[in-house]
Structure 1
Amino acid sequence: MDQRLADLRDVLIAAETAQGDVAREQKKAEADVEQVVNRAARDRQLLESGRGSAKDLENLQHELETLARRQSDLEDVVLEVMERMETAQARVAEMTAQRDEAQARRDAIGAAITAATDGIDAEAAKLTGERATVAGTIPEDLLALYERVRAAHAGVGAAAIRQRRCEGCRLELDISEVNAIKAAPADQVVRHEECGRILVRVPDSGL
């Protein structure tokens, strides 16, 4: 997501730069048209005044015709630049929308991650407290055994038996092990022969 957002920002900067270049072209083209229009207006005033020689007035007439053609050409340039400006503005608007959408998604994901992390931290703190309370009721030798097994088995020192299967390693207990567990007193600590975890007997153990 961060890379996508960075790429969109780069594309948007490029689009804004292109729009700026076209805007300068448009300003220059419009200034050129204005200059020609002003020059033609001055010549027209001189021509209409009738001052000057016939040769001067004839030259003014020719210049007005040249200026008219020049104005037409420049106005075509202005129209072409305006069309490119519309395209550039549309591109900037599109990339801005995509950038904003990506930013909103990133912010939403970030907020969700923060909320989830806070929830996990709160749950971990709660479970740590509960574990400390429960650990205080367990005999020290049994707790020490649990900690050793837990350290050796990826943090899982005890596992329930469900339908004659160890929930720690997911292996089914063989018949001799099932019979031994059945015969053992309810308060006797039993361990799985395969994985070594402490086995916890529950209502659906299937024993």
Structure 2
Amino acid sequence: MPRVLIIGASKGIGLETTKQALKAGYDVRAFSRSADRINISNSKLEKIRGDALLSQDIETALDGVDVVIQSVGVGFSDLIRPVHLFSNATRILIAAMAVKDVKRLVSITGFGAGESKKSIHCLQRVPFKLVFGHAYQDKTLQEQLIKESSLDWTIVRPGVLSPGLLTKNYKILETPLEWRNGIISRRSVAHFLVHQIEDRVFIHKDLVLIN
């Protein structure tokens, strides 16, 4: 089975994806600045502390890996100032994957990034820009970098995230005409991500996920 590197594995979608990938039987390398605090004990889990903005850390984490799931995030307090984490981390990751000859990337951005920005309801555009504008401007750049790469990429844009239960009947919206915002649990997003480890149906696709 493929070995999976999960970047941003210590919390949120990354942590939930780590749990579900292990349950599915995959060897998982969990990468995070706080990886040592991941409270999971499993013989198939390798925890690596590192910084997604350091090329050496990322290249080390990519050794022997077949698939990368990228799930990085910023704190709410970081939204008031310009954000560069998503694009900078992605530049480093794409370059490192080329060095290590790793082709498969599944990256989580969010509804409102890239082309999906056009699908934000007119009444939501101003508050969305005020609160999330800095972050999603950078996520849009992140998506552009991924699409311009030679990787076998899939971009996943969840709607509003909730701590709810896993429901396997979530909607995978593939075309701009379908794209809309909605709520989806982190567990449901993780379920989709784990299925992308070996599924090639959505390579070179940018999707929206909602319940």
Q: TM-score range by the shorter chain?
A: under 0.3
What is the TM-score normalised by the length of structure 1?
A: 0.19
Tell which has more relative contact order, 1 or 2 (C-alpha 8 A, sep 6+). Answer: 2
What is the TM-score normalised by the length of structure 2?
A: 0.19
Larger Rg: 1
More helix by share: 1
